[in-house]
A and B are shown apart, each in its own frame.
Chain A
Amino acid sequence: MNRHVLSVLVENQSGVLSRVSGLFSRRGYNIDSLSVGETEDPKVSRMTIVVRGDDYILEQIKKQLNKLIDVIKIIELDPRQSVFRELALIKVKTGDNRASIIEIVDIFRAKIVDVANETLTVEMTGDEAKIEAFLSLMEPYGIAEIVRTGLTALERGNREIKNQRKYEED
């Protein structure tokens, strides 16, 4: 079961997110994460969807997504030629370890965005591996809460999704 990252342009309308997520649950496709936001064109939103599946499933996902009237374009992002980022906010219990936590935060170039008596809240951006590595280092201190955005991604270089061919069966 390989992981694939799809970048999907959709109409920025109510009901679209439900149609897309409904498609995944109805057809039994596994979805790791989905993030969505407006693009340079306010009438268009862009979704980054991380899915798991073999070639057959991936093919079906693309084809079925394409059948949704609100879906404008789908491309699959090649990890070697794309920037993958995720944002996580992590509330760590400090105890007596405040200094050593701050040290790790610095090494990871993360940011402390809130300081309280018993906790530090860290803002962390990176690809999944970096976030996972950071989380495993924080675990011994005690993690109170985590929230993650899911992956968002963009192709490197001059290529734009607009100018790429819409996925088609040939």
Chain B
Amino acid sequence: MKAAEALIKCLLEEQVDTVFGYPGGFILHVYEALRKSPIRHVLVRQEQAAAHSANGYARVSGKVGVCIGTSGPGATNLITGIANAYMDSIPLVVITGQVKSSMIGRDVFQEVDITGATESFTKHSYLVKDAQEIPRIIKEAFYIASTGRPGPVLIDIPSDIQEAKIDFSYPVSVDIRGYKPTVKGHAGQIKRAVKAIGESKRPLIVAGGGVLLAHAQPELQAFVDKTGIPLVHTLMGKGTLPSKDKHYLGMIGTHGFTRANRALTRSDLIIFIGVRVADRAWGGVSDKALQNVRIIHIDIDPAEIGKNVGTQIPLVGDAKTILPEITAKVSRADTAEWLNELNGYKNENPRPETGLVNPKYAIQLLSDKLNEDAIMVADVGQNQMWAARNFEDRPGRSFLTSGGLGTMGYSLPAAVGAKFAAPKRQVVAVMGDGGFQMSLFELGTIKTHQLGIVMVLFNNTRLGMVRELQSRNYGNTYAVDLEQNPDFIKLCEAYDIPGIRVSDNSQLQEAFDKALKHNGPFLVECMVDPLEATL
């Protein structure tokens, strides 16, 4: 069998049913094999979208997302999507075509060293040199992408290798001597953690994206229920605990809530779970504030422990395994006084009905209207924070955004992936006029598949967050505006996608109702005051 056919068989062995991609000359053998297979191929309109769609697909389904591109520009277009997945630890297998083995290094047409270019933001990569190795490589790639701290794995396959004949047999197991992720927590450290929790008067959980990646929401809930310890979360940790839970305090960080950030500085024991303590989440907390704080840090990646903040009790392993062990051993913390204090702090998050369309109000309204299992995909910039702060935290991987890399244009293609992963769930893509225009071309993909995605566009004719920074740092002068924006409603019309423009809060109800009832894609363009603030 041809190696390209073997590759597709491997994908089937890995239970892959959907891939996102864009063909080209040096990946044609793979596409020919793909055409004959039961795997659904979603043709994106630019490769970056393929990586983001695979990302959205992975995050909603809990499986590995797969995307395919050709050599050269196809591969380089994937780069932003790969880096984005790396920063947010999303499991992807990225397959790229490469020029013929014998031509590598000669700068031939559409040649680029993609394994070299992506070296620092892939979890691992392969340049296939022997077709016979394809089954082993695919098996390893899926294993590496999805275990330990997940991440993107790239497989670059020269076209002559794709065509070569091989004897196919799929390996049953993987044994990589340099890769043995620690899953189970160290017994001694668990004991110390339990003791520290028992001694603490003001314990606090900081939950991050790692909890979602570990599918450990139920285990976290059980831990919170038993101990009564309050919880704050990072942007990536949104959805780890429902906002309805009485232990829920909100999001921390630069754009977080007062009460949540306050809790951080008042706590005497911080329990990090699946958090890399990134600058945007942690930037405001001084070392001095931590002088008398003990820190337990649970993470599957040992390199994250102690990287950004010192820790007394490091616990390397899978939150899904470690949390039940701790829960079994701890008794209820005496947190009455602490919770009392925390209840004294309020999260300032009014429901303002000012401005043209007030985006905070709009998201809150939408949040109320959406089903319990709805998915919100936020882009980057002000819209991201409006969404993160005002969309209710719900269980079940319901909030997706580009947290680490901050990639504008993420939400539309990621929403495509989310919808393919969960066709029955409502999917809302929230974005600004800047981000929308970075991924406009995906309207084509959305229309082709008649995907029921509600696009909520906050149009303030500005890059709102940039505007805020500029006015803060340079006075009220702006380097750019987007006042020459196209008519987005007409633009969608060209794709035969209906839409409504809303320029007053009072029209939102009707617009959202219509959008959510519509069978297929729908645009709600909300006109927002250019001076509307993030917080």
A interface list, Cβ under 8 A from B: 10-11, 14-15, 18-19, 22-23, 26, 56, 59-60, 63-64, 66-73, 168-170
Contact = CB atoms under 8 A, between A and B. Distances in A.
Contacts, number: 49
Given A60-B303, A67-B301, A70-B178, A19 B119 contact: yes
Contact of B303 (A15, A66, A69): A66
B178 A69 contact: yes
B246 interface: no
A71 B177 CA distance: 9
Given A71-B178, A169-B314, A66 B302 contact: yes
Interface of B: 115-116, 119-120, 123-125, 127, 144, 176-179, 182, 186, 188-189, 301-303, 305-307, 314, 316
A56 B125 CA distance: 28
Nearest to B126: A15
B305 A169 contact: yes
Given A15-B125, A60-B303, 18 more contacts: A15-B115, A15-B127, A19-B119, A22-B119, A22-B120, A23-B120, A56-B306, A63-B303, A64-B303, A66-B303, A67-B301, A69-B144, A69-B178, A69-B179, A71-B178, A72-B178, A168-B182, A168-B302
Nearest to B119: A22
A73 B178 CA distance: 7
Contact of A69 (B116, B124, B189, B316): B124
Nearest to A73: B178
Contacts of A23: 120
Contacts of A14: 127
Nearest to B181: A67
Main secondary structure on B side of the interface with A: mixed
Contact of B178 (A11, A26, A169, A170): A11
17 contacts: A10-B178, A11-B178, A15-B115, A22-B119, A23-B120, A26-B120, A63-B302, A64-B303, A66-B302, A67-B301, A67-B303, A69-B123, A71-B178, A72-B178, A168-B302, A170-B186, A170-B188
The 6 tightest CB contacts between A and B, nearest first, are A169-B302, A63-B303, A69-B124, A72-B178, A26-B120, A69-B179
Contacts of B305: 169
B226 to A, nearest CB: 26
A17 to B, nearest CB: 11
B306 A59 contact: yes
Nearest to B116: A18
Contacts of A19: 119
Contacts of A66: 302-303
B194 to A, nearest CB: 17
Contacts of A69: 123-124, 144, 176, 178-179
Nearest to B140: A69
Nearest to A64: B303
A86 to B, nearest CB: 27
Nearest to B153: A69
Contacts of A68: 178
A9 B328 CA distance: 39
Nearest to A65: B303
Interface centre among A26, A70, A168, A169 (most CB of B within 10 A): A169
A71 B303 CA distance: 15
Nearest to A72: B178
B315 to A, nearest CB: 9
Contacts of A18: 116, 119
A64 B305 CA distance: 11
Nearest to A11: B178
Nearest to A44: B177
A28 B428 CA distance: 40
Nearest to A166: B180
A72 B178 CA distance: 4
A60 to B, nearest CB: 6
A56 B303 CA distance: 11
A15 B316 CA distance: 29
Nearest to B123: A69
A53 B314 CA distance: 22
A147 B229 CA distance: 62
A70 B306 CA distance: 23
A43 to B, nearest CB: 10
